C-alpha cells in the first residue's frame, strides 16, 4: 500500500500570526514538502492544479519536473490534472516528458476540478464537463497507446496521422487515477478502463464515499478487469498532529475556523466525527485511518493533506516527520494484516512494465 501527501497549493494567511506567504514562498514550500516526504520514507507526493488565486500550482508538470531532479524514489503525481480544460494532446506530451525525466516515477489523477470559472477561461462550457472528461480521456489513452492517431471528436480539432512525442517511457503510459468526489459517471469511466479511482473524501461523510467506491468496484468487475476486491482505490485524508491532542486542537482550531471550506458551519469536533479530518495525536490518526478500510475495503493509496489553510511550513514539515516516523510504519503493518493475497498493490511503472512483458511473452508463446 502506498502512503503519501498531497497539496492544493493555496496561498493562505496564517490565522495566528496574520502573515501571508508570497507566491514564491508557497511554491518553494511545496518543494520542501516533497523533499521531506521522500526523506521520511513516504511513497507519493501529489499536487493539485489550479488557475485562480489563492492557488499557485498552475503548471504541475513544471513543479514535478523540478522535484524529480531533486529526488530519487518518491512517486510524483497530480491531484488533479484537469482533463476537461486541458488539451489531451498537451497532457500526453507533458506527462510522457515527465516520465522520462523522473525515470518512470510518475502517475496522474484526472478530474474536473472544483473551480467553475476555469471553464470559460479555457474556452469550455462547464455544462459539458462530464462529456469533456469522457472524450478527452478517450483521446489521451489513444495518444499514449497508438503511434499514429487519426481522431475526430466534438471538443477539439481533428487529428490526422498525429504522433504524440515523446512516446511514453518503455512504451508504458503513466498509470491514471480518476478523481471524483461526487460523480458516478467518473467512477464508471475509471471502471470501464480498469484504471484507479481516487475519492478525495476529506470533506465527505463515509456513507457518501462508500457509495461511489462500491459503484466503482462493481463496475470494475462488470467490465472483466477482476473481482470487485481487486479494483484500485485511493483515498484522501487530512491531519494535524501533536504529541498531546489538546495542543493539536489549540493550534489547528484557528485554521479550521478561518477556512473558507471547513469553517463557518459546524464545530470542529463535529466536523471530525463526520469526515476524515483528524486533529490529535499520531495514535489518533492511526486509529481513524484504519477505520477507512471498513467502508472502502482493502485499498491501494492513502494520501494526507498536511498543509494549506495557513498552516506554516514548519508545522507542515513536522506533520510529515510524524507521519514517517510514527504513523505510516504502523499503518503499513496494520493494513497488511489479513490483506487477501489477490488484492493488488498500487501500480507503478515497474509493475506495469513487467505485466506488459508477461503479456507479450504469453502472446508470443500462444502464436508459436
The pLDDT value recorded for residue 202 is 85
pTM of the model: 0.95
The pLDDT value recorded for residue 195 is 98
Cell digits for 15? 490565522
Stretches in the chain below the pLDDT threshold 70: 114
How far apart CA 221 and CA 228 sit, in angstroms, is 5
The pLDDT value recorded for residue 56 is 95
How far apart CA 72 and CA 80 sit, in angstroms, is 23
Q: For residue 196, what are the CA distances in angstroms to 37, 78, 100, 168, 301?
A: 23, 13, 22, 19, 10
Q: Is 368 helix (H, G, I), strand (E, B) or coil?
A: coil
The pLDDT value recorded for residue 85 is 93
The pLDDT value recorded for residue 349 is 97
Residue 99 exposed, middle or buried by CB count within 10 Å (0-12, 13-18, 19+): buried
How far apart CA 310 and CA 257 sit, in angstroms, is 11
How far out from the chain centre does Cα 20 lie? 26
How far apart CA 135 and CA 129 sit, in angstroms, is 10
The pLDDT value recorded for residue 364 is 81
How far apart CA 124 and CA 118 sit, in angstroms, is 8
Amino acid at each position: 500500500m502506498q502512503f503519501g501527501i498531497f497539496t492544493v497549493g493555496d496561498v493562505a494567511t496564517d490565522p495566528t500570526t496574520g502573515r501571508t506567504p508570497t507566491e514564491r514562498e508557497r511554491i518553494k514550500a511545496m518543494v520542501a514538502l516533497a523533499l521531506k516526504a521522500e526523506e521520511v520514507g513516504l511513497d507519493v507526493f501529489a499536487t493539485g492544479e489550479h488557475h485562480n488565486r489563492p492557488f499557485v500550482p498552475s503548471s504541475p508538470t513544471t513543479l514535478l519536473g523540478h522535484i524529480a531532479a531533486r529526488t530519487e524514489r518518491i512517486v510524483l503525481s497530480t491531484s488533479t490534472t484537469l482533463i476537461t480544460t486541458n488539451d489531451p494532446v498537451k497532457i500526453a506530451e507533458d506527462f510522457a516528458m515527465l516520465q522520462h525525466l523522473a525515470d518512470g516515477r510518475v502517475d496522474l489523477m484526472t478530474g474536473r476540478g472544483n473551480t467553475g470559472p476555469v471553464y470559460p477561461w479555457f474556452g469550455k462550457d462547464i455544462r459539458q464537463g462530464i462529456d469533456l472528461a469522457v472524450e478527452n480521456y478517450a483521446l489521451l489513452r489513444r495518444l499514449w497507446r497508438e503511434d499514429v492517431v487519426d481522431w475526430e471528436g466534438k471538443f477539439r480539432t481533428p487529428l490526422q496521422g498525429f504522433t504524440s512525442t515523446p512516446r511514453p517511457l518503455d512504451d508504458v503510459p503513466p498509470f491514471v487515477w480518476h478523481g471524483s468526489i461526487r460523480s458516478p459517471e467518473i467512477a464508471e469511466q475509471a471502471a470501464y478502463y480498469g484504471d484507479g479511482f481516487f475519492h478525495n473524501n476529506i470533506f465527505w461523510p463515509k456513507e457518501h464515499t462508500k457509495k461511489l467506491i462500491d459503484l466503482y468496484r462493481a463496475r470494475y468487475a462488470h467490465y472483466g478487469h477482476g473481482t470487485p476486491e481487486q479494483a484500485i482505490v485511493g483515498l484522501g485524508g487530512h491531519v494535524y498532529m501533536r504529541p498531546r491532542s489538546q495542543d493539536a486542537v489549540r493550534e489547528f482550531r484557528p485554521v479550521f475556523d478561518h477556512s473558507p471550506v471547513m469553517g463557518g458551519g459546524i464545530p470542529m469536533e463535529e466536523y471530525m466525527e463526520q469526515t476524515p479530518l483528524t486533529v490529535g495525536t499520531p495514535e489518533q490518526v492511526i486509529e481513524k485511518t484504519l477505520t477507512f478500510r471498513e467502508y472502502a475495503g482493502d485499498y491501494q493509496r492513502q494520501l494526507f493533506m498536511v498543509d494549506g489553510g495557513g498552516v506554516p511550513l514548519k508545522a507542515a514539515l513536522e506533520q510529515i516527520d510524524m507521519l514517517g516516523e510514527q504513523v505510516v510504519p504502523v499503518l503499513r503493518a496494520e493494513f497488511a494484516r489479513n490483506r487477501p493475497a489477490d488484492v493488488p498493490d498500487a501500480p507503478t511503472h515497474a509493475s506495469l512494465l513487467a505485466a506488459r512483458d508477461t503479456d507479450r511473452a504469453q502472446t508470443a508463446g500462444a502464436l508459436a
